Structure 1
Amino acid sequence: MIDKRVSVFFIFSFSLIFFIICVNGQSRLIGSECWSYSDCSSSVLNSYCKNYRCVCYSPYIPSQNLNMCTIATGEPCPTLSTVCYDNNARCNSTKKGYCECKDTFVQHTDTRVCLRAIGQSCTGAEVACVDGSCQNDKCQCPQPLVGNSFGNRCVTALGENCLQSQECADPHATCEANGPCICNDGFRQVQRADGSTLCKRVLGAACDEDEDCANEYSFCESMRQGTTICNCREGYVRSTDTKKCLAVPLLWPGSCEENLQCHGAFGSLSNCTNFTCSCPIGYEFSENSGECVLSISQYYGKSRIHEYCNIDYDCIQHAFCREQHTCLCEPYYAPTPDKGMCTATPGLPCSSDSVCATMTNSECVQGLCACKINFILDLKNSSNCIARPVIEGDHCQTQDECYDAMDRAHCVNERCHCYTNYHFVLGLGRCIRSRDLNDTCQADYECFIKGDSKELECQFGRCRYRLENTSSSSNPTTIAVITILGLGIIRTIL
């Protein structure tokens, strides 16, 4: 009788021990009852006991079956081995270290669930598309909508009529009131090989790589100030409207659209006339120098400026012989550096642009020769109009030119530069105060550290580095098999 009692007691005690191990060990789930701080962490990684219930540490959330603490899609991953809540998401090792949807999947903007992206393959109702529907085994938008650049919404294509800004296909486009989607300032619409369109950065805009730039002859150039902007490649010059890169002609006379192309190839005296480079009146092209030089006929029998003369006829065109018997340019004309020609200057009375032709980048405005719009007079040459500075790094002559164009900027070594602790923002067309790391901010473009290769962004009102991926050793997965002999139950926890 005693042996029987001992046996029953032994079996009961043995079963109770395993029951306690099961309750206090690896079998607990999130939401299970607990008594000590470590009861939960021994069962579920990144959990603890709070108010006698197992809960996940912030920012973790319980998995669907409550046996793991996971990270929601779109939230940062503490380690690359972190388990994401969505089965179609993973901690991305190449993009910021966030729980992001796997390839061919994108996050739904409202539910944050990872669904098949627009344009990706699908099989009827078996795979849910993030937007649109599965047609011909592919997630597609209803006509005339198209997928946005992320593939997570059906939106309005560039050039198509839209209702609101968030409906435009490109993130750098805006919906005009009762009009089409158009690219924002600092961007230009370009067409891909497949016929689709997107907004790319114009010349002078900040960039990260060559692909960011809209013009086919442009590239992302590193500037001395530590910034990078879209600029024309070697052999090309920027058009006066900054929209195109124009080829510099290789051989005389060469085709052209603007004077700048001719200047880059054949010197500042050459001009673009009827889409062909030419020399001004009294000059001819020299094969030896590759520039426009005074023609022989101008030398023959004619005195140049400050040379001896008796009468006006002895002097070159637009010059007269003064009482001291030397040639001098007529009013509103100025001598060229070689003294062999008198060229027009601002204020010369005119009836057409041709009268002002010897004054570069000029036109006849209200009967007087003047610089064209967006050009200013060259202080070193009164017959030359040069481009007005528009962006940081442009040529300048006075402090006012830079300040008037870009606000907090000045002229240093004939180049416009922002003041110390300021940087240029193309979209605004001016220099703004640079916000340092951890400074308060309202927009990404405010955050800038000169010479720092890491990119800053405005996160929750503070300038922060864009999150980089971090890799750390992960806790080993615990596998335990507990057998309760008395109850005959086997449970495995991964």
Structure 2
Amino acid sequence: MKYIVLISFIFIFSLKAEYNAQIPCKTDDTCKNIIKAEMLKCINSMCMCGNITTKSYQSCSHKDIIVNTKQKGVGKVCFQDEDCEDIEGATCQEARMNHTSKRICDCPPHMIINVDKRKCLTIANLPRDSCTESIQCIAGLNNSECTNGKCHCRMNFHFDLTNKRCIPNKVYGDPCTKEEDSCYQLDIPDRTNSLICSDENVCKCLKKYIYFAGLCLYSNASRIVFQTSFVMIMILFIIRMF
């Protein structure tokens, strides 16, 4: 009789010990994303598994958990922000995956994970925004890089004010659209764009600019360049004559 009581006690204890995983939840779907038990319910903000023997819901067993809670980095399943402390700046967020929702560690919307996947960095919105890695610039501006702590468009790219992105430069005569500021040639003295997309959807010089030697030059500047070139040609001609 004593043996029967002892065995019964061990059996009941083992059942109780098995169901000891404390898994927070908001809905039944939250539990279904991380537990493979057939009978699941979110009761009092905790995942509960159905016990066929006792015909009741109890805390789920660790054996039922199908997610590796020791996984690190963005994308790991979490229950609270503290679960994401291995990633600086990350929080535990609700995410939709394959028509189901689950809580995972991720950076806030205005931030992006760094190359080493150890911390979240602020996404740049404009050229010359502060940065520590190029990923911040690329995420916000596309074709850009972090140089000397500031975001810059890559060579032969410029910042499109309309779409807030770094886009390829288009030169005089290139096809263009009015929807983007793709025509671009920087006038060095004034640091202004001397090109514009014409009504014919072709890059042309702005008014008061003249196309000369592959560049759009301000009319006064182009006149000086033309006069200087003419004088040089005349000098060379005279030298050859003598």
State the TM bucket, normalised to the shorter chain: 0.3 to 0.5
Whose Rg is larger? 1
Q: What TM-score do the two structures reach when normalised by structure 1? A: 0.22
Say which structure is richer in helix: 2
